[in-house]
Structure 1
Amino acid sequence: MNYYLLIYTVSPDYLEKRGTYRKEHLNLAENLHKNGQLLMGGALADPADQAILLFRGETPAAAEAFVQADPYVKNGLVLSWEIRKWTVVIGNPSASGNLS
């Protein structure tokens, strides 16, 4: 199993504008979390300029699909994004149990 980080760079007015789209964004994330594809996600603080979501899967397909469906992306709150494969060294479930 592979891990992928989805890294968003958000607009300077992200905190002010996200309310309109927040419920849809969180529902999308919650559905992926329930099926085990999205392990964790959240915004960075001080400054609130990025967000990071951790996906699990054989490919980055779940992260890619999330980006395409995310109202934050569709409505310009996300200025840029990238998906990076993450090689887990500490906490790797194959070595020390489950990461969930």
Structure 2
Amino acid sequence: MKAVLFYRSGPDVLTKAPIHFAAHKARLDDFQRRGELLAVGTWADPRDGSMAVFRSRAGAEAFVEADPFIENGVVAGYEIKDWNEVLLG
């Protein structure tokens, strides 16, 4: 079972995100390199938040524990949902 992380953007996301993006991106890269992070991206309007797919709930929980976007108010809140992935072809 995979885990999907939903971020709700903070009110100052457009000004705060660029300031903390390098540290956030380094964390994304680390989790991707380890095979924990499978996909990530913002919605068309970044003020609407973003979504990431992790290999496991434990990976998603570990990511949010020290994400600079959470620590610095870029993200106002988040939710992790377990996801039963089904590939139809």
Same fold (TM over 0.5): yes
After superposing the two structures, state which structure 1 stretch, 44-53 or 62-71, moved more.
44-53
Please identify the structure whose Cα radius of gyration is greater: 1
Matched ranges for 1:52-71 at <5 A: 52-57=51-56, 60-71=57-68
| 1:31 matched to 2:30 | yes
Alpha-carbon distance, 1:70 to partner: 0.4
Spell out the pairing of 1:12-27 with structure 2 (5 A cutoff). Answer: 12-27=11-26
Task: Describe how 1:71-90 pairs up with structure 2 within 5 A.
Answer: 71-90=68-87
Asked if the contact 2:9/2:46 (under 8 Å) is kept, the reply is no
- Percent of residue pairs identical: 37
Segments ≥4 residues shifted beyond 4 Å: none
Normalised to the residue count of structure 2, the TM-score between the two structures is 0.90
Structure 2, gaps ≥5 residues long: none
Whether the aligned pair in 1 keeps the contact of 2:40 and 2:52 (CA below 8 Å) is yes
Measure, in 1, the Cα distance between the counterparts of 2:46 and 2:26: 25
1:62-94 per-residue CA deviation (whole Å, 9 max, x = no partner) reads 111111110110111111101000111225xxx
Q: Per chain length, whose mean CA-contact separation is higher, i.e. which structure has more relative contact order (CA < 8 Å, sep 6+)?
A: 2
| Structure 1 unmatched runs, 5+ | none
Residues 32-58 of structure 1: CA distance to partner in whole angstroms, max 9, x if unpaired? 10111001111112363211010003x
In 1, Cα distance between equivalents of 2:74 and 2:46: 15
